[in-house]
Structure 1
Amino acid sequence: MNKLAFSRELRLLTPEHFNSVFQQPHRAGSPHLTILARNNTLDRPRLGQAVPKKQIKLAVDRNRFKRLVRESFRLRQHALPAKDFVVIAKKSANELSNEELSALLDKLWQRLSRPPRKK
């Protein structure tokens, strides 16, 4: 089996999965996107995406954003902790090139891989 696949087990599929992440998330963000994370009881990370039409108007642009996020997650999945992640797009995300978006995602994945700071 392909170790870098993005199978169904690696996705947040139901509203309950998303809502659990929205309850008390760890956040990492930039002016272009926000990633919410919450520990899960599984032995693998999972990904969900929220890319509203209000933020990114054209379907081709929303799909490009989602495709790049999926690819970034797929390549990093083995380095990520067992958490559920939700990536939320902001308006300015559409202004980033593919390379800039990939670099930004890598930086945010690294930030969320570290243990959260105590308050």
Structure 2
Amino acid sequence: MEKENVNRNRIAAVRFTAAEYNKLVKRFKATTCRKMSEYLRKCVLHQPIATNYRNESLDEFMLELIRLRRELNALAGNFNQTVKKLHTLRQIPEFRDCIMQSEAQRQALLEKVEEIQKAIDRTAAKWLQ
């Protein structure tokens, strides 16, 4: 089946005030149309226009989760570096208990960070749909 070659060679010019044009651009940006001409053509020809819908509270929640993820990664990295430095003191008997305890805390922290990251990833996947 061949696709019909449609040359658009007719122009219909319309003038807008600045306020009208800003309103038009705002509506256009809320659609899935790639070009303003496509949007205007659909409006004029009464064709259906698909619009994007975003939940602002979910957007804010996702921004907060992203910030928390960065902080958790930084904390985990700092904690990991501290534990590695403690391991250099392993030869001193007083530090052995401290090292063993910090190692258990490190594992627990890293597990929690990983669990939180998986939850954030699941939420982000739903958010991006």
Q: Normalising by structure 1, what TM-score?
A: 0.25
RCO greater where, 1 or 2, for CA within 8 Å and sep 6 or more?
1
Instruction: Identify, as 1 or 2, the structure richer in strand.
Output: 1
Provide TM-score, normalisation by structure 2.
0.23
Larger fraction in helix:
2
